Amino acid sequence: MMATEIYETREIYLLDGRLIELSPLKLKYLKKFMNKFDDIKKAKSDADAIGKITECLLVIMPQFCPDIDTVEKLEDILDISTMYEILNFAAGIKKEEAAPVQETENTWDNFDLAKLEAEIFLTGIWKNYDELESSISLPELMATLESKRDLDYNEKKFLAAMQGVDLDEQVGAPKQDNVDPWEAMKARVEAKVSGIGNGDPNDILSFQGQKAHQAGFGIGMGLEYGTEL
40 and 94 housed in the same domain = yes
pLDDT tens per residue, range 168-201: 776 655 544 555 555 565 565 555 545 444 445 4
103 and 21 housed in the same domain = yes
Band (207; pLDDT cuts 50, 70, 90): very low
Q: Is 1 contained in some domain? A: no
97 and 119 housed in the same domain = no
14 and 74 housed in the same domain = yes
User: For the chain, how many structural domains are there in total?
Assistant: 3
Residue 121's pLDDT is: 92
Residue 101's pLDDT is: 46
What is the domain extent for residue 137?
A: 112-161
Which has the closest alpha carbon to 31: 139, 173, 138, 110? 138
205 and 190 housed in the same domain = yes
Band (74; pLDDT cuts 50, 70, 90): very high
pLDDT tens per residue, range 108-144: 556 788 888 999 998 889 999 999 999 999 989 998 9
- Boundary (domain end) residue, out of 76, 109, 142: 109
- Boundary (domain end) residue, out of 109, 142, 175: 109
- Boundary (domain end) residue, out of 71, 93, 109: 109
